[in-house]
Structure 1
Amino acid sequence: MRIAVTTPTGNVGRHVVPMLVRAGVRPLVLARDPERLDASLRSAIDVATVDQRDADAVAAATKDVDALFWVDPTTGSGDPLHDYDLATAAVARAVRENDIARTVFQSSVGAEKRHGAGEIDGLAGTEEALDALGASVTHLRCGFFYSNLLLQLEAIRAGEIPVILPTDLPMSWVAPRDIAEVAATRLLNAEWSGRHVQAVHGPTDLSWAQAAAIVSEAVGREVRVRRISDDSMRQLLLDTGMTEKSVESVLGMSTGLREDFVPEQERSVQSTTATTLAAWAHETLRPLVS
Structure 2
Amino acid sequence: MIVVTSPTGNIGSQVVAGLLNAGAPVRVVVRDPARLAAGVAERVEVVRGSHSDPAVVAEAFAGADAVFWLVPAGHAAPSVDAAYSGFARPGIEAFREQGVGRVVGVSALGRGTAVSGQAGYVTATLAMDDLIAASGVPYRALTMPSFMDNTLRQAGPIKAQGVFYGPSLPGLAVPTVATRDIAAVAVRLLLDGTWTGFDEVPVLGPEDLSFDRMAAIISDVLGREVRYQQIPGDAFKARMMGNGMSEAMAQGLLDMAVAKNNGLDQGVTRTPEAGTPTTFREWCTEILKPAVDA
Number of matched residues? 289
Using the alignment, how far apart are the partners of 1:78 and 1:19 within structure 2?
31
5 Å-filtered alignment, 1:4-43, equals: 4-43=3-42
1:161 corresponding residue in structure 2? 164
The residue aligned with 1:106 is: 106
Residues in 1 aligned to 2:244 and 2:191: alpha-carbon distance in whole angstroms: 42
The whole-number CA distance in structure 1 between the counterparts of 2:55 and 2:38 is 28
Q: Which amino acid aligns with 1:62?
A: F
Report which stretch shifted further, 245-254 or 104-113. 104-113
Q: 1:59 to 1:201 in 2, by over 3 A?
A: same
Q: Which residue of 2 aligns with 1:123?
A: 125
Q: Which residue of 2 aligns with 1:49?
A: 48
8 Å Cα contact 2:77/2:83 also seen in 1:
no
Q: Partners in 2 of 1:263 and 1:193 — Cα distance?
A: 27
- Conserved 8 A contact 1:111-1:141: no
Q: Structure 1: give runs of 5+ residues left out of the alignment.
A: none
- Spell out, residue by residue over 1:219-250, the C-alpha distance to the aligned partner (whole angstroms, 9 max, x if none): 22211112222123223333434332121021
Is the CA contact (8 Å cut-off) linking 1:52 and 1:73 kept in structure 2? Answer: no
1:275 paired residue number = 278
Q: By how many angstroms is 1:26 displaced?
A: 1.6
- How far residue 162 of structure 1 moved from its aligned partner, in angstroms, is 2.2
User: In structure 2, do the counterparts of structure 1 residues 270 and 227 end up closer, same or farther at CA, with 3 Å as the change threshold?
Assistant: same
- Secondary structure at the aligned position of 1:138 is classed as strand
Q: Specify the code of the residue in structure 2 equivalent to 1:60.
A: E
Residues of 2 paired with 1:255 and 1:61: CA distance? Answer: 37
Counterparts in 2 of 1:71 and 1:48: CA distance versus 1, 3 Å: same
Judged with a 3 Å threshold, the aligned counterparts in structure 2 of structure 1 residues 200 and 260 are, in CA distance, closer, same or farther, namely: closer
SS of residue paired to 2:260: coil
> How many Å apart are 1:212 and its aligned residue?
0.9
Deviation string 1:44-84 (CA, Å, 9 cap, x unpaired) is 21111120221231122111101111001121424352232
Distance 1:162 1:145 in 2: 15
Q: Is the 8 A contact 2:93 2:135 kept in 1?
A: no
Whether the 8 Å contact between 1:212 and 1:224 is mirrored in structure 2 is: yes
Task: Work out which of the residue numbers 217, 222, 247 in structure 2 matches 1:219.
Answer: 222
Work out the CA distance in 2 between the residues paired with 1:160 and 1:251: 20
Q: Superposition RMSD on alpha carbons, in Å?
A: 1.7
Q: Does the 8 Å contact 1:53/1:83 carry over to 2?
A: no
Residues of 2 paired with 1:162 and 1:287: CA distance?
Answer: 20
Q: Which amino acid is the alignment partner of residue 95 of structure 1?
A: F
Work out whether 1:172 is the aligned partner of 2:157: no
Tell me the distance in 1 between the aligned counterparts of 2:111 and 2:31: 26
AA partner of residue 237 (structure 1): M
Summarize the alignment of residues 250-265 of structure 1 with structure 2, pairs less than 5 Å apart: 250-261=253-264, 263-265=266-268
Is the aligned partner of 1:64 residue 2:63? yes
Q: 1:236, 1:166 → 2: CA distance?
A: 18
- Which residue of structure 2 aligns with residue 188 of structure 1? 191
Task: State which drifts further: 268-277 or 243-252.
Answer: 243-252
Output one character per residue of 1:112-139: Cα deviation in whole Å (capped at 9) or x when no partner: 5552111222311210101212321000
Q: Residues 100, 147 of structure 1: CA spacing in aligned structure 2 closer, same or farther, 3 A cutoff? A: same
Counterpart code for 2:145: G
| Alignment check: 8 A CA contact 1:103 1:136 kept | yes
Q: Which range moved further: 21-30 or 74-83?
A: 74-83
Give the structure-1-normalised TM-score.
0.93
- Gaps of at least 5 residues in structure 2 are none
Q: Residue deviations 1:175-230, cap 9 Å, x none?
A: 10100000000010111111111000011111111111111122222111122221
Distance 2:109 2:157 in 1: 25
How many Å apart are 1:151 and its aligned residue? Answer: 1.2
Distance in 2 separating the partners of 1:263 and 1:98: 37
Distance (whole Å) between structure 2 residues aligned to residue 80 and residue 155 of structure 1:
30
Q: State the TM-score, normalizing by the size of structure 2.
A: 0.92
